[in-house]
């Protein structure tokens, strides 16, 4: 459950909130009929569910369908609760039917993505770096904090 909550908080909510803001700015510029607004409101929730499912699958490394569905349910439930509080009417339950499969697909993608490549670190610093650092430290020790 911790994996799902973290995926929603770190990936799903910021992505869907950003898309909500972009779509709100776009709707202000263009004159659209009111019938289009529920469909436009579903786009950020579905995209956020997909990203949350991917993040959950990536963190869990197995059970992508389950983790993706749980992340999508949590994220969609949060947005539907927020919409219910703000608009004083319950949102369309069809949104769950669209976002849960998107979260499942994201979970599958997150599990199947290859692991990031580990960068090799140098075990030893080059000799010139050590000598330079020693010179700088010695000079700052000898000079100290003088006020001229």
Longest dimension (CA), the chain: 75
What tokens does 28 get?
Answer: 């202000």
pLDDT tens for 97-131 read 999 999 999 999 999 988 777 766 656 666 666 66
User: Is 74 inside a domain boundary?
Assistant: yes
Report, as ranges of residue numbers, the positions in the chain whose pLDDT lies below 70: 119-148
User: Is 27 inside a domain boundary?
Assistant: yes
DSSP E strands, 1-148: none
User: Is 126 inside a domain boundary?
Assistant: no
For the chain, the domain total comes to: 1
User: Is 148 inside a domain boundary?
Assistant: no
User: Is 89 inside a domain boundary?
Assistant: yes
C-alpha R_g of the chain? 25
User: Is 88 inside a domain boundary?
Assistant: yes
Residue 89: φ, ψ to 5°: -145, 145
- Put simply, whether the predicted model's pTM sits higher than 0.85 gets the answer no
Range(s) of the domain holding residue 8: 2-112
Rounded Cα distance between 148 and 145, Å, is 10
Rounded Cα distance between 71 and 74, Å, is 5
Backbone region of residue 63 per phi and psi (left: phi > 0; alpha: psi in -120 to 50; beta: other values): left
User: Is 144 inside a domain boundary?
Assistant: no
User: Is 98 inside a domain boundary?
Assistant: yes
């Amino acid at each position: 459950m911790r994996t799902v909550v973290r995926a929603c908080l770190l990936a799903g909510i910021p992505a869907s909130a950003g898309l909500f803001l972009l779509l709100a700015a776009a709707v202000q510029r263009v004159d659209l009929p009111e019938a289009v607004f529920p469909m436009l409101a579903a786009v950020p929730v579905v995209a956020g569910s997909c990203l949350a499912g991917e993040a959950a699958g990536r963190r869990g490394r197995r059970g992508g369908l389950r983790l993706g569905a749980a992340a999508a349910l949590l994220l969609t439930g949060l947005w539907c609760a927020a919409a219910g509080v703000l608009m004083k009417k319950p949102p369309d339950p069809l949104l769950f039917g669209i976002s849960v499969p998107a979260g499942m697909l994201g979970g599958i993608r997150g599990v199947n993505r290859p692991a990031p490549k580990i960068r090799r670190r140098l075990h030893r610093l080059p000799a010139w770096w050590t000598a330079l650092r020693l010179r700088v430290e010695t000079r700052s020790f000898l000079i100290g904090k003088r006020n001229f």
